[in-house]
Structure 1
């Protein structure tokens, strides 16, 4: 087995650094030209593999992104040359090879616009929400299929079939590769934002992959750059920044989850909070994401847990429940009222939220009842509820945190 050299390590680091951004750009460009999703993804992956082979010997190029784009485009041309029915696409690729100046000198808005078109294609309403998220992760974020499968708790072969079906549906239904215009844009944008929200949540949850949250932030920045007049895009970006600012403080030295009141707020990313406040200040309308961002801002700007403006948070949740009712929002509203107006008020609202049964097996709902019950004075029942929530949870770090809260009540 050959020894790993410094050049190998440096090249691998360079490929990893540029690959995340370059993969999506390459795939987006090749899909635009060829209309072939599989070809685009395969050529982008082969370009990364080729870089791992060449760069240790030849050195990392001055423009690594341009190198990867050229390698992927050349590979696509080679593949299409072997397919006689693809002559028109071959001519388009050949023309692109002659006229495209590459990422180093191409207009920034053109490069970004390819990715924006890809986002809207992945998030077309003809696809199921689960398929939209998976396709976004694989095509735009470059997440390996195996990792996506683990996030969805299914086998890699099952996820491969789902991705294939989604791409086939795009082709068979003739879904256009473009950002819609006029009324269609307003109609489609909420679906795109919903996918990005779910993507962030999958990265932020206790058992999630943090890279998913990073990708969601990167993509929402991209959207805001190209559609700065859409207030809910700005609001979603602010919400992500406020939530993600706590990423380094959410666990103790042993990796155990810490509730908001036990976190060291000096470890929060205050630059991200400041950016979130600046972004939120540009949002003049209170849509669902703006309301959630204002709630998150109340937490992010509180000097301590006791200084949190729970009355304002409860008011924002009242409005959010009015315009976007859901069991989870009603759950959070109950918690907010429990802190703003006393645990009895929170328990009453929580009982109403759970009346339909949608939250019966939802660990956060049981944990919320436990917390409010403890604050109401019944520590024994609260401890039992925390243990019940732990039994319902499938995430080990979350289970440990809930059992720890039960044990602390017992002691």
Structure 2
């Protein structure tokens, strides 16, 4: 059996077997290697020859099947499991995620979706970046200062800059602003990475993230997965998740607009750059100064923190840039005020590169992305033995 490309199917129902066989019968990757009649047969097969992906039909007793499947998922942690069922019920989906299944697929969509799901889950056998991707965390010093718009577009420009997708991670449990801005929703997101029982690795991150475009992937917040009852984020394994982000993507942008100070300090300490976004007014400048001081007191290097004055107007300012820089004790990167261009991007659910590619706002974000890419490249060269 081809362990890298082959798929094991666990099913007794002839109709399900036919549907999966038909979906995987094109001769292209992935291919169906074997059909197991039950979970004990699957266990024996995996002991004999490891498989990259296993598809399990959990009908007609889905709850009992998931209970029995859980220990197998935990034992064979290098294998990715997909479950099939007639109906997608929220309690079954939650239980499947809790035992470590990577995807829950309704049987009616086998023909249309199974191949794409399995291709996303197939092990690559290597890491994308060797663990050397960059992390950029974006904090907000005030509500409505445009931090999510900045995070989305910065990530997209980073992806375009290096011709490889960048990841934007949405940590906003209240609104799921990244998903809302891009018109995205899905079954899985950041919660499933942080709560994963097995190893948190690049394959888990890539298979959980949504592909928005060739330059931008998105890891949804709990609010974008289930707005009425978003799951809490547990940060016990945040460090492992951050390392997996580095391995999976050349650049990861974390939209951390609403996190506690302990989490904020952990993110900033692990990040190559921390953007502190605010508007140039007394209230947000005061908050930015307090946040900057709190982070540095917790050991975050001041030189890694980049204050960003968003929606900066060259005329009609109440606070001069020199005064603001003196208050923060740091240089400030201005991003121009281009409200209607940004609003158009939000209304269309598209990055500025699509809605306003020649706008001043997009050019300034391109410049910021280039600056961060060059800074990361210099740091990588300096760290080479």
TM-score by length of 2: 0.30
Structure showing greater Rg: 1
Normalized per residue, the structure richer in strand is 2
Structure with the bigger RCO (C-alpha within 8 Å, sep 6+) is 2
Normalized per residue, the structure richer in helix is 1
TM-score by length of 1: 0.28
